[in-house]
Amino acid sequence: MIARGLAVTCALAATSVMALAGCGSSSNSDTGSSSASTDAGAATQAGSKDPIVVGISAAKTGIYQPYDEQASQLLQMRFDEINKDGGVLGRPIRVEWIDTKSEKPTAGTNAQELIDKGAKVIVATCDFDYSFPAIQAASTQKVPAMALCASSPKSASPALVGPYSGTMGLGSDTEGVAMANWLHENHPDLKRAYVITDTFIQYSKATAAYFAARWKELGGTICGEDSFVGGPTLDLSSQVTRLRSKVSGCDVVYDSSIIPFGAQLIRGIRDAGIDLPIATNAAVNGTAIKQVAGNVSDVYALGFACVDTYCKGGNAAVADVNARFEDKYGAKIASSYALPGYDLATAIAAAIEKAGSTDGDKIAAALFDSGITVDELSGNKVQFTSECHRPQPGAYSVEEFKNGQSSQVGTASVDAVPDIGDGNTCTKPPAVK
């Protein structure tokens, strides 16, 4: 039995995850067509017993392995659960996974190879820059492509990724806004923020930009800014020195990066004796904080959910999936950034069921235009829209680290984000019920 609370709701009928087929019968109302030929095509799809291939072009090795591997494994695990409940359109899902080795050109080559093997959906790396080659390759073939958890607003913009593609990430923009909102509401004494941005990828640049924009909207000030480029030879000594010179005029540091670089920054700040509170995003969280930064305190991070591997106070559904993940793969979930992989499998299955077909146009229309609602593992209800190809609204667990141990100290949801002039199409999330 699939964990309670992970239901997928279609516009015409609410169903449990155990009965995903209810989201996509071959009736005219579900397929969106009144033609006899469309009904016949849907019936043929449903009558076939051949597996539906979902191809993964993501990292098993390299710098993105910490984000891609467990997310892809959770996607596979979720499809295995769906297969046990009868599959999709009465057919099993078969996953094919080719390692990108965290290389951009390989991502596109992999996607084409997977499509040649019959993939009807491509799943790509958890980052806009590194997923885009796979998305481009799939789009030319009219094959839907979804990034595992890419959060740059660019990943959800139809003008950039096209009509067939999107992401399961909730958005670096909403991450920045969520933390600004939560600090403002819960620590009103923190007025002056020092923002340090990792310019290695679009994700962290956008998170910092949206945090700063929202912080100023809320009446806060930016007491200083700095940047670095994450990489294997990272030296943050100059950034820490510049921060030290500004400490007396600041109340909080905002660390916008990814693992391990953001955790290295936290360690550098604390090793320098700087005790300002540090706030960060969802990518700088998980077991790596203690592994890299040590027993740090007064650090606030976001998560898609509080994962019991490293966080106290999470929900039972996440703990259950974590236990099953450990049984299957021999390790616990190391970061909440893996969780969108599980939810993405649910969303893909629901879209195929609603489409009544594996045709790329119909799957994309079902996912982005039909009003499908996905109950995420976190308990958050989300929808994709034709303007914003990612789950909305963004909602997060807020977690505080004390002596290297994190605990959930609140939640933060985002019903709007500032317009900073970057063409973001996700500034006004729908009200999902």
pLDDT digits (tens, 9 = 90+) for 16-40: 333 333 333 333 333 333 333 333 3
What pLDDT shows up at residue 109?
97
Read off the pLDDT band of 47 (50, 70, 90): low
Query: For the residues 302-306, what does the mean pLDDT come to?
Result: 97
Query: For the residues 134-146, what does the mean pLDDT come to?
Result: 97
Query: For the residues 45-62, what does the mean pLDDT come to?
Result: 87
The answer, yes or no, to whether the previous bond of 391 is cis (omega within 30 of 0) is no
Please check whether residue 353 lies inside any domain of the structure.
yes
What would the pLDDT profile of 147-160 be if each residue is shown by its tens digit?
999 999 999 999 99
Which two structure tokens, joined as six digits, stand for 153?
């607003």
What pLDDT shows up at residue 409?
98
State yes or no: pLDDT of 410 exceeds 90: yes
Please check whether residue 418 lies inside any domain of the structure.
no
What pLDDT shows up at residue 31?
30
Query: For the residues 91-99, what does the mean pLDDT come to?
Result: 98
Domain shared by 245 and 351, yes or no: no
Q: What is the DSSP string of 46-79?
A: HH--SPEEEEEEE-SSSTTHHHHHHHHHHHHHHH
Domain shared by 210 and 278, yes or no: yes
156, 158, 173, 239 from 388: Cα distances, Å? 5, 7, 13, 36
Domain shared by 274 and 402, yes or no: yes
More confident residue, 428 or 304: 304
30, 58, 79, 113, 123 from 92: Cα distances, Å? 21, 22, 8, 21, 17
What pLDDT shows up at residue 39?
36
Domain shared by 144 and 79, yes or no: yes
Q: How far apart are CA 17 and CA 236, in angstroms?
A: 47
Domain shared by 138 and 216, yes or no: no
What pLDDT shows up at residue 14?
32
Query: For the residues 183-198, what does the mean pLDDT come to?
Result: 98
Q: Name the percent of the chain lying above pLDDT 70.
A: 89
Query: For the residues 202-207, what does the mean pLDDT come to?
Result: 95
State yes or no: pLDDT of 6 exceeds 90: no
Domain shared by 272 and 200, yes or no: yes
Q: What is the CATH number of the domain that holds 190?
A: 3.40.50.2300
State yes or no: pLDDT of 295 exceeds 80: yes
What pLDDT shows up at residue 429?
84
Read off the pLDDT band of 44 (50, 70, 90): very low
Read off the pLDDT band of 300 (50, 70, 90): very high
Cβ-defined contacts of 1-5 (< 8 Å, 24+): 2/81, 2/82, 2/85, 3/317, 3/320, 3/321, 3/377, 4/317, 5/317, 5/375, 5/379
Domain count, the chain: 2
State yes or no: pLDDT of 365 exceeds 80: yes
Read off the pLDDT band of 49 (50, 70, 90): confident
Q: Name the percent of the chain lying above pLDDT 90.
A: 86
Domain shared by 288 and 355, yes or no: no
What pLDDT shows up at residue 121?
98
CB-based contact 79:93 (threshold 8 Å): yes
Which two structure tokens, joined as six digits, stand for 82?
């769906």
Domain shared by 20 and 109, yes or no: yes
Domain shared by 163 and 258, yes or no: no
Q: Is 299 helix (H, G, I), strand (E, B) or coil?
A: strand
Please check whether residue 431 lies inside any domain of the structure.
no
Please check whether residue 432 lies inside any domain of the structure.
no
Which two structure tokens, joined as six digits, stand for 283?
């990518």
The chain-wide mean pLDDT, for the chain, equals: 89
State yes or no: pLDDT of 265 exceeds 80: yes
Query: For the residues 191-205, what does the mean pLDDT come to?
Result: 96
Length in residues, the chain: 433
What pLDDT shows up at residue 112?
97
What pLDDT shows up at residue 430?
83
Please check whether residue 333 lies inside any domain of the structure.
yes
State yes or no: pLDDT of 225 exceeds 60: yes
Domain shared by 85 and 159, yes or no: yes
What pLDDT shows up at residue 32?
33
Read off the pLDDT band of 327 (50, 70, 90): very high
Domain shared by 244 and 323, yes or no: no
Domain shared by 21 and 116, yes or no: yes
Q: What is the DSSP string of 83-110?
A: HHTT-BTTB-EEEEEEE-TT-HHHHHHH
What would the pLDDT profile of 100-128 be if each residue is shown by its tens digit?
999 999 999 999 999 999 999 999 999 99
Read off the pLDDT band of 163 (50, 70, 90): very high
Task: Read off φ and ψ for residue 337, nearest 5 degrees.
Answer: -65, -10
Query: For the residues 182-209, what does the mean pLDDT come to?
Result: 97
Please check whether residue 428 lies inside any domain of the structure.
no
Query: For the residues 177-184, what does the mean pLDDT come to?
Result: 98
Please check whether residue 228 lies inside any domain of the structure.
yes
The domain of 271 spans 173-303+396-413
Please check whether residue 68 lies inside any domain of the structure.
yes
What single-letter DSSP state applies at residue 292? I
